Copies of this chain bind each other. A is one copy, B any other.
Amino acid sequence: MKCRRCKAPAVIEIPRHNAAFCRECFLRHCREQVRRAIDEHRMFVPGDRVLVAVSGGKDSLALWHLLTELGIDADGLYLGLGIGEYSDESGRYARDFAARVGAGLHEVDLPTDYGYDVPGAARATRRSPCGACGLSKRHLFNGFALEHGYDVVATGHNLDDEAAVLLGNVLRWETGYLGRQHPVLPATDGFVKKVKPLVRLGEREMAAYCVLNGIDYQIEECPMADGNRHLGLKTTLNALEEQSPGTKAAFLFGFLARGHGRFADASDAERETLAPCSGCGGPTSTGGLCAFCSLRVRVSNPQPVALRTGR
């Protein structure tokens, strides 16, 4: 197997591009794909202060590395989720990487700074831990960026992630989510701009990118994510991709080209109903506490009054 570009021995094959690459040409390929995503979707403007959402996994560290390689300075924010040894290790990978590239890393710790952890939130809400985790991340990355003057939050969502989210949204025809699923969410009142520069690169490519660059990352799946619907949808798409390479990319990019715009009104309609949260002042559609503040109330008071008086 030879590199498509330079004919040197290849180290990785990418069936959906019908291509194989040597180390150097593969790293160049990754940079090109990220540059193309950034240009195509106008992710950054000169002078933007960029914050990378860092988990310590392959995607967020590769993203941070790639942005640096492309000359885009970015600080990181690591959010400690309080998932035991898994979180301790993840934090170490994030800190080691920041030290290695000399980049600034902020840290927020759910247990220390907000008095709860993801396992506790899952118990208190009797819902999936992934729900409480995603909610906390979205709220805190956005709030931190606004508070500290960052213009853009960049996340490590890759092609596999986005295709799986899209499949989930399409299976239920969640029109509001479909209207908002895009590599760029522009800034609006109370929301900082969000971008996903890895949207043209697959999960396997990001793992290879880290390995080939000697970037150590948290290799374990989150222990709370077992049986998670998102992982099931990834498995579904992997089987389809195996049968027909390029399925995921055609699905996601076809949506962006010919589907997304048809759902814009559904997203706008939801956004029009936003009002300030009576707890934190952030935007919410509930008219009372936002979902994050409600979660904090439930975690600090896990037995709702209605249930206790119902005996």
Contact = CB atoms under 8 A, between A and B. Distances in A.
Max chain B C-beta neighbours (<10 A), residue from A170, A247, A250, A266: A170
A115 interface: no
A219 interface: no
A1 interface: no
Interface of A: 170-173, 175, 229, 232, 236, 239-240, 243-244, 247, 250-251, 254-255, 257-259, 262-263, 266
A262 B262 CA distance: 6
Contacts of A173: 250-251, 254-255, 257-259
Interface of chain A, helix or strand or loop or mixed?
Answer: helix
A308 B215 CA distance: 57
B175 A251 contact: no
Contact of A250 (B172, B229, B240, B254): B172
Contacts of A172: 250-251, 254
Nearest to A243: B232
A264 to B, nearest CB: 10
Given A171-B254, A173-B257, A173-B259, 13 more contacts: A171-B240, A171-B247, A171-B250, A171-B251, A172-B250, A172-B251, A173-B250, A173-B251, A175-B258, A175-B259, A229-B244, A236-B240, A262-B263
Contact of A236 (B175, B239, B255, B266): B239
Contacts of A175: 258-259
Contacts of A170: 170, 251
Contacts of A263: 262
A72 B236 CA distance: 41
Nearest to A263: B262
